[in-house]
Structure formats: C-alpha cells, structure tokens
Amino acid sequence: MTEEGSAIPPTAFGVSRRASSQPPPVKQELNAALVRVLCTAAFGVSVLFFVYLWVHDGALGRLLDKAEGPLKYPGTLTGLLSADLMFVQVVLMARIPWIERSFGRDQLVRIHRWSGFTSLTLMLVHVVLLMFSYVVRDGRSPFGSLWWMIADWRGMMLATLGTVLLVVVGITSSRAARKRLRYHSWHLLHLYTFLGIGLVVPHMVWAGSEFKESWAQVCIVSLYVVALGSLLTFRLAMPLLRSVRHQIVVDRVIEDAPGNVSVHLRGRGLDQLRAQAGQFFIWRFKDGRGWTRGNPYALSAAPRGDALRITAKEVGVNSSRLRTLRPGTRVLFEGPYGRFTGNSRHGRKLTAMASGIGITPVRALLEELAYAPGEAVLLYRASSDDDFVLRQELDELAQQRGTRVVYLPGHRPHKPSSWQAEPADEDDHIALQRLVPDISEHDVYICGPDAWGQSAAAAARRAGVPAKHIHLERFAF
C-alpha cells in the first residue's frame, strides 16, 4: 500500500543532537588513522610471512641451480602472494565495522578491486610459470605439462575449478561487464569468490613444499579460519541478531515525486545502531519471493531514536518493489556502513555536490551537521526540473537552516570529464569557484554516479580544496 503525500519537512524528524554540536573531535579521526596504520602493518606482515615461507623452503638458493629454476621459483612466489591477497579479499568482504568506518566505502572498494585483480593476475602468472618450468625440465608440451599438473598433483582438480570460478568473477567485475549487469546479477556472481578461494587454498597445503612443516600449515589454516570467521560473524550472525533485536518494520511509503519513493521505517532502540547521516544499509524487505536479495540504500534523513528513512529512484525491478511495500513488512538489515559522515569533517564551512538520486545521503547530512546560516552550500544537478528529488525538503532546509541551494538542471555536457549541466561554457573548477567563491575553505561532500563524482572531485582539487577535505561517495558497484 502506498501513501500519496507531500515530502516530510526536516522538522518532522526532530532536531538531531549532532546538528547543534561542534564538528567531531580530532580523536575520532586519530582513531581511524590508527586503524588504517594497523591494517596496513598487518598486510605488510602477512606479505613478509609468505615471502619468508618461500625463502625458508630454499627457493633463493635453487633459483639458478636448475634449468627450470628461473621459472619455477618465481612461479611459487607469485602463487603465495596471490594467496595472501585472497585472504585480504575475504577480510574486506566481511565488512568489519571498525575497518569500514576508518577507510570508508569508496577507499575500500578501490582496495578490493586492486587486490582482487592483482590476486587473479598473480595466480595466472603462477600457473603459466610453473607450466613452462616443467616444459623446460621434462620436455613436455605446454598443455601436456598443464594436464600433468592437474591430474597428478594433489588438490589440483579442486584448484583448477576454483581458478575458473575466480576468472569468471574477475571478468564480470571489469568496468565494461558491470555496466551491462544488474546489481543483483553481479552480486550473485561475486559470491562465487568465496567458493573459488575455498577450492584453491587446500592444494597449497597439500602440494606446496613451503607448507611441508606443521607450523606453516597451522599458520595458513589459521589465517583463513580467522578470515572466514570474520565473514560469518559480521555478514551473517551479527546482522541476524541485530535484525531480531531491533525489529525494524515498514511504517509507511510515500511517493515524493514521479518515480521516487521514500520508505519510512520504525523499530526498537534504533539509536543503539549509532547510525549517522550519510551512511547506508543493506536492506532485505520480507515482502515475498526474492526478499533475500539485499539492496543498498542510503539514509535520506538524519536518523533518530525510533525512525529511519530511505529514498530511491525507481530504475529497476527491486527499487520499483519499494512502492508496493505494506506497513508492518519486516525488514532485515546489515549496517550501518560508510564514512561519508561528519566524522571526516575538518571545519565549519561545507559544500555538498549531488547528482540525481545521490542527493539522498547529502540531504541527510545537511540536516544533521552543524553550521550557521550561509556556511553550507548545496550544488544539485539533475537532468530536468522534474528530476530534483526531495526538492520541497531542500527548500525548507534552506529556509530553516540558511543552506544556500543551487539547482543545476540539464544533461551533462558531451565531454566526459565535466560535472556541470549543459551548457558548460567554462572550465569545471572555474564554474565551482564562481558558484562558491571561498570553496578552498570548505569541506566538499560529493555523491553521485562514478564518472560524475570523479569529475566533481577533480574540479574541487583544482579549485584549491585540500584532498583530505574532499569526501566522495560514488553510486557504483
């Protein structure tokens, strides 16, 4: 059932306690920096551990001893480093809260993509180098050598299947493939990463000479047990327990504008989630067949003790289902996730740049953050006047809090590097400085499609905004 009505003004959600507070203390950013340093150090230690296994096995001494040495031993090293990055992949997929808060979704997505493609590349190099090392040693053909490895080595049948699965995941994770896949199709294929890694790892312990000693086997198994335990804890057990505890249900559904739907949610003790404006959850609405598919939606209003709200544009089957949700529908959730919050803010002045439905977390931020009249600017681009989401609420924010709102209707120029709307007769950073003359003194929050967000961030940097003052949330998977 859908309620038709006007958008709910910011005052209907109450005044956030954060809205009247000073910017967050430096301690929070220092804690995040400490977590980033510890994670980086842990990754460095893991790399050194796998390199040590390679050296301890005598690879350096045998590198040039035999004809196949220059191929075989670099091949084993690339395999070990690939295994290390697989471990990183599992940890990243676990969405461990303090890592998510410290790095932010955007940076973690970049790390995830880099580690995934690098791991896959190293794995394929590992296979090719070993294959040709046995061509040199035994005089086999390349395919004969490969078949001998698969058929005779313990665990290699499983590893081969796992490699095929990881190659499929790698191909479907490329930018070109993601443009052609729906989110849920991509996400389902991406889950095969777990199976692929699970099939690849055993052959290392069974066939790798680096793991012939029991302590090495215990170490590698422990690493993956910890990673798998983190995954099961933070992606399965905790979301289920929190969903049961907070009993979130749909309160009402409102059509804010043609093609845009807001879902109001209520539950028990939602303040204990410690959610912040700018963050997102993965939602599962128990409304019938297909409810198990998770949908990532950002909060479109500052959270308060008993209520949350999300807003989505109807662009596919799953977002269109939001319109048909009935009051009382049970909701399972994961989160909150993301670092697109006031915690990363450095000063009082701020400029928010949004495109299309990217306005949703930005609108929540403008409600929650502390600023005086005239200290906050919103630059909002959409294809036409009819495409500005939550416009009534934005106008009321401007009236009540003194936010300066600039609407920029029009399609993006044909040049792919511009964030502006047509016609764009000046350089991006010049346009930004014209609209916000003191932009270099602002924190800049950017949310929208991937290419648009990159263009906006580049313009902000050229306009003199320090890189650490630019906070980017991209709508991409």
Q: Which residue did the predictor score with more confidence, 385 or 310?
A: 310
SS3 state at 263: strand
Beta bridge partners of 194: none
Pair 436, 377: CB distance under 8 Å? yes
Domains of the chain: 26-241 (no CATH), 247-337 (2.40.30.10), 344-475 (3.40.50.80)
Name residues whose C-beta falls within 8 Å of residue 44's C-beta, 6 or more positions apart in sequence.
none
Q: Which residue did the predictor score with more confidence, 256 or 381?
A: 381
Res. 268: pLDDT tops 70: yes
Q: Which pLDDT value is given to residue 415? A: 63
Mean pLDDT of the chain: 85
* DSSP H helices in 20-93: 26-56, 59-62, 69-93
Q: Which long-range contacts (CB under 8 A, 24 or more apart) does 208-213 make?
A: 208/76, 208/79, 209/57, 210/53, 210/54, 210/56, 210/57, 210/76, 210/80, 211/53, 212/57
Range with lowest mean pLDDT among 84-88, 332-336, 412-416: 412-416
What mean pLDDT is predicted for residues 173-182? 71
Q: Which pLDDT value is given to residue 354? A: 94
Return the closest-CA partner of residue 129 out of 114, 113, 149: 149
Return the closest-CA partner of residue 469 out of 9, 22, 29: 29
Regarding pTM above 0.85, the answer is no
Name residues whose C-beta falls within 8 Å of residue 421's C-beta, 6 or more positions apart in sequence.
381, 408, 409, 410, 411, 412, 413
SS3 state at 265: strand
Range with lowest mean pLDDT among 64-78, 373-387, 440-454: 64-78
Q: What is the dihedral of CA 92, 93, 94, 95, to 10 degrees?
A: 70
Q: What is the dihedral of CA 260, 266, 267, 268, to 10 degrees?
A: 140
pLDDT above 70 covers what percent of the chain?
Answer: 89
Supply the DSSP string of 365-416, one letter for each residue: HHHHS---TTSEEEEEEESSGGG-TTHHHHHHHHHHH--EEEEEESPPPSST
Range with lowest mean pLDDT among 37-41, 286-290, 404-408: 286-290
Most confident of 100-104, 151-155, 282-286: 282-286
Q: Which pLDDT value is given to residue 394? A: 94
Range with lowest mean pLDDT among 53-62, 67-76, 174-183: 174-183
Res. 61: pLDDT tops 90: no
Q: Which pLDDT value is given to residue 299? A: 94
What is the distance between the alpha carbons of residues 95 and 104, in angstroms, rounded to a whole number?
A: 11
